[in-house]
Amino acid sequence: MTTSSEKQISKLLSLVLRHSPETIGIELDQQGWTNVNHLITKVNEYGTEIKLDQLKAVVANSDKQRFSFNEDGTKIRANQGHSVPIDLGFIAKNPPPFLYHGTATKNKESILQFGLKKQARHHVHLSKDIETAVRVGQRHGKPIIFKISTKLMLEKGHEFYESANGVWLTEAVPAEFLIILEKDN
Ligand code: HQG
């Protein structure tokens, strides 16, 4: 086994804590938590060398604060982005008046027709600033940014949740609430 980089560990954690715990033979509880010591054992068995200090460093240094420990540090979970059915216990909260969603230009027509859908995730993910939305959109291709009036959505009864790492989440964004952000807006 070679020493694992934080990036390697972070990618494996994203996979097993959000999408596929069975890959390394762990289970997530209803709120997405898993036991830290058991996780470390299983990650090592899987062939990715990891010690508790490294896990702590990955959690602390994750650029998007992807993971959290529980209060006594015995459990760990992903802050958002799951495709497995878990309940993170989000409480509806009022977002800022505008949020942003970055995606690829190739998705534009479909989104304008059908609105933003959550696809494989539990929610549609929205960013609180344009720079973040651009970074998210670039992952999919040439980026395009939608601006979303959360005020209008709240008036129509839509709910929003803020994940522990500052991503705003909602069930869906119907097309009527989406504006394409032109460069000068
Ligand atoms: C698109 C990263 C066509 C949607 C980021 C997006 C984020 C549609 C893609 C987090 C559509 C789903 C989430 C429609 C939605 N027609 N395309 N009707 N509705 N889409 O990756 O928001 O690195 O599941 O625009 O920072 O890109 O994982 O969602 O392009 O916070 O921590 O379907 O993932 O964080 O893609 O990214 P994703 P996302 P992590």
CATH of the domain at 22: 1.10.10.970
Q: Which atom of ligand 1 is nearest the CA belonging to 121?
A: 24
The identity of residue 100, as a single letter, is Y
Identify whether 87 is part of a domain: no
Give the model's pLDDT for residue 3.
58
Instruction: State whether the beta carbon of 140 lies less than 6 angstroms from ligand 1.
Output: yes
Identify whether 153 is part of a domain: yes
| CA 109 from centroid of its chain's CA atoms | 24
Instruction: State whether the beta carbon of 111 lies less than 6 angstroms from ligand 1.
Output: yes
Closest residue to atom 29 of ligand 1, CA basis: 125
Is residue 50 within 8 Å of residue 28, measured between CB atoms?
no
What is the residue range of 144's domain? 98-180
What is the domain-level CATH number for residue 172?
Answer: 3.20.170.30
Residues 103 and 171 in one domain: yes
Identify whether 84 is part of a domain: no
Q: How far is the CA of 15 from the centre of ligand 1 (A)?
A: 16
Residues 51 and 117 in one domain: no
Measured between its terminal Cα atoms, the distance across the chain in Å is 51
Residue whose pair of structure tokens reads 């651009």 in the numeric block? 134
Closest residue to atom 3 of ligand 1, CA basis: 107
Q: How far is the CA of 74 from the centre of ligand 1 (A)?
A: 31
| CA 142 from centroid of its chain's CA atoms | 21
Residues 158 and 105 in one domain: yes
Pair of tokens at residue 77: 């979970």
Residues 71 and 113 in one domain: no
Instruction: State whether the beta carbon of 107 lies less than 6 angstroms from ligand 1.
Output: yes
Whole-number Å distance between alpha carbons of 98 and 36: 37
The 3-state DSSP class for residue 145 equals strand
Give the model's pLDDT for residue 185.
47
How crowded is residue 82: how many other Cβ atoms within 10 Å of its Cβ?
20
Identify whether 86 is part of a domain: no
Whole-number Å distance between alpha carbons of 9 and 135: 22
Residue spans of the chain under pLDDT 70: 1-3, 183-185
Residues 175 and 104 in one domain: yes
Paired strand residues for 161: 169
Residue from 139, 171, 176 whose mutation best tests the ligand 1 pocket (most atoms within 8 A of CB)? 139
As for how many domains the chain has, the answer is 2
- DSSP letter at 121 equals S
Q: How far is the CA of 87 from the centre of ligand 1 (A)?
A: 20
